[in-house]
Amino acid sequence: MSSINRFIQFNNETINAKRMIQLEQLARALSRAPYLTLTTRKLSEFRPKESAISISHFWNHREPDIEHKGQLSDLYLLTSGFWRHFNLSAWNRYKKEVNHLPLREFALQLAMSAEEFRLSNLIRQERPGTESAFVVREDVYTTFHEQQLMVNFSKGFISDSLFSFLYVALRKGSQTALSVEDYPSFFKLILSKWQFVFDSTSTAESCKICLNILYALENVMTKDLTHTFVAIHENLQETVYEDKNKRHLDQQSSDNLPPSDTIEEVFRTWHRETEKQQGPHLEYELTKGNKGKINNGRMEEGDESNEIESEGAGTSTSNKKSKQSGKINGKSERRQTKQSGERFGDEHLHVTLEEKRIELKDDSFMNENILSIRSDQKPLVKAFTKEIRKRIDQKQENLRTNLSKGRLTPNLTSLLIEQRPKPFYKKNNPSLPLDAVFGLLVDSSASMIDKMDETKKAVLMFHDVLRDLGIRHDIVSYYEDAYEASELEQPNVFLFCHQVDEGAKDNSEAIMSLDANEDNRDGLAIRWMAERLNRRPEKHKFILLFSDGEPSAFGYAANGIVDTAEAVMEVEKKGIHLLHLFLSAEEPVEEQLKLFHMMFGSKTATAKNADEFTTQTLRLLRRMLYIIVK
């Protein structure tokens, strides 16, 4: 679905997909947790339930070097610092002690600030290469808190100004922090206790220092923080997490094992629990007649002798079947709805896949329309296939003579009559028919409604060219049913217009039956088509994707760009060539071009208007076929 041209331009935020993928891989390497995912949020934080960590939006819209190093510093702190060196037992004890205090939020964020200072120094010692990232981090954050110190103090937010004051004092020294007069006298008293953070060697010591500060503030400050400066601790105090961790600790204590005190173990516990919840153990099947009916509000007692009137099947992450009928591969069979599970990535765990034949439209003018389109496209198709066949014929020449090396020709007269004789020749391997298979994916999201007529023409030409050249191919329309999508299930449909096993069969009527539907998951569609092509024996495999905007579906808008970029990288590693055509009814803007270069790299092309759909399709086909016949 095209959602690039949003009404509120300043909210038109896109992320650098390649950078996010690189940062996520780095996070997994540093934490040694291959299941970890990375997102961006307002502030850095952990989310054990989702096996995710988040870096902060704070670094966005800065100079590229500052943005990059700032994001790296977030990542280092989360994965090399808090991940292994933050003591959860000490933190939970501290949390209980400050929970009843009026400055509770100040207490929690202050302790996290002290731990950030301790852990950043620890990481610098363990990994000297992180020094430049932390220098940038401290410079930017110190400037930020110097500004907040004055602003919040002038507004009367004493707790907020004290927090910023202590942050600056820790980085720039007490004299610099106290250069502005008119601060309350207790700021100096608190600073004398805060200095002990320099010597802190554990979470327990940092918490103890913060407790001493809180007791000193009891009679001088009662209003808690107005702003949130640190959020790392927030999801670590969820009720669900605490209950789960308590049960886990109780179980370990009963086994005389040491309790788990790190965030790393909490994440692994959540991950193991999630894995246990997957599998076929939740499936059930009702095949007996011991049913009960509601009759006038009364329940009838079940009886095993009753006949079966209906059959139901439960769902799990392994599979789910629908009893509706359809046609796939030309055969009448039950339409299958499969659970995606982990096959296509974490973003599609709750996706259900339905693969079926497209329903032909009842249109009396369809055949006339097809004949008219083919008549207009015939010169282009004929010229294109002639060009490809000519290149194939050139490749099939079996003998190359007059070479400086190779096999010695029987006719050696050139040695006598030529000054620089070349009496060698080489034989080419006999050229086979084009050993290739294509998969065309057509985005059928709602935004395609005004481009579908021109898209059908481009798809029909793609179909005719490959039929003429004898190349097997899939033509598949894909979309997500937005009206049925929920957190537990996101139905996705793949409609076959043509399948590889149908060879050169003319499926023009199916192509002309293409229609716009709801949402689109491009990353899912790319992985799904790659899975189909990987089962094929052909040497050269290609995916051509037609879409008109960034991916958009239930719970997919935030990470759709990154997921699609990951899918492109995955299929290319498998040896599958992928090209993308951006279908636009008007001149694309620079922001749109950057977005698609971010997802598809140099493998994207743009149709500047609807009339260019067919010409751009031919250009992409030429680019793909030249790979085969070069």
pLDDT given for residue 277 in this prediction:
52
pLDDT given for residue 464 in this prediction:
94
Q: Which residue has the higher pLDDT, 301 or 28?
A: 28
Structure tokens at 141: 């954050």
| Segment holding 436, helix H or strand E | strand 436-443
Tell me the pairing of strands 351-357 and 312-313.
unpaired
602-623: per-residue pLDDT in tens? 888 888 887 888 889 989 998 8
pLDDT given for residue 229 in this prediction:
94
pLDDT given for residue 240 in this prediction:
39
Query: Does residue 223 register a pLDDT over 50?
Result: yes
pLDDT given for residue 612 in this prediction:
86
* Among candidate residues 346, 343, 337, the one with its CA nearest the CA of residue 319: 337
Cα separation, 375 vs 368, whole angstroms: 11
pLDDT given for residue 400 in this prediction:
66
pLDDT given for residue 12 in this prediction:
54
Determine phi and psi for 610, rounding to 5 degrees.
-65, -30
Quick one: average pLDDT of 394-423?
71
Quick one: average pLDDT of 453-464?
93
pLDDT given for residue 274 in this prediction:
58
Q: Which residues, in sequence order, are CB contacts of 361 under 8 Å at separation 6+?
A: 512, 513, 515
pLDDT given for residue 417 in this prediction:
76
In the structure, what pLDDT confidence band is assigned to residue 298 with cuts at 50, 70 and 90?
A: very low
Query: Does residue 462 register a pLDDT over 80?
Result: yes
Query: Does residue 179 register a pLDDT over 60?
Result: no
pLDDT given for residue 286 in this prediction:
40
In the structure, what pLDDT confidence band is assigned to residue 550 with cuts at 50, 70 and 90?
A: confident
| Segment holding 619, helix H or strand E | helix 613-629
Cα torsion for 17, 19, 24, 29, to the nearest 10°?
Answer: 150
pTM of the predicted model over 0.85: no
Q: Which H, E and C letters describe 236-300, residue by residue?
A: HHCHHHHHHHHHHHHHHHHCCCCCCCCHHHHHHHHHHHHHHCCCHHHCCEECCCCCCCEECCEEC
What the chain holds in terms of domains, given with CATH numbers, is 16-237 (no CATH), 366-370+433-629 (3.40.50.410), 398-427 (no CATH)
Percent of all residues in the chain with a pLDDT value above 90, rounded to a whole number: 44
pLDDT given for residue 135 in this prediction:
95
pLDDT given for residue 527 in this prediction:
94
Quick one: average pLDDT of 220-239?
82
Cα separation, 291 vs 407, whole angstroms: 83
Quick one: average pLDDT of 69-77?
95
Q: Which residue has the higher pLDDT, 146 or 7?
A: 146
End-to-end CA distance of the chain: 36
Report the range of poorest mean pLDDT among 79-88, 263-272, 367-376, 481-490.
Answer: 263-272
Quick one: average pLDDT of 285-303?
42
pLDDT given for residue 496 in this prediction:
96
Q: Which residue has the higher pLDDT, 390 or 504?
A: 504
Quick one: average pLDDT of 161-171?
91
Report the range of poorest mean pLDDT among 17-21, 397-401, 599-603.
Answer: 397-401
Report the range of poorest mean pLDDT among 98-102, 138-142, 395-399, 438-442.
Answer: 395-399
Give the mean pLDDT of the chain. Answer: 81
Quick one: average pLDDT of 123-139?
95
| Segment holding 600, helix H or strand E | helix 590-600
pLDDT given for residue 132 in this prediction:
95
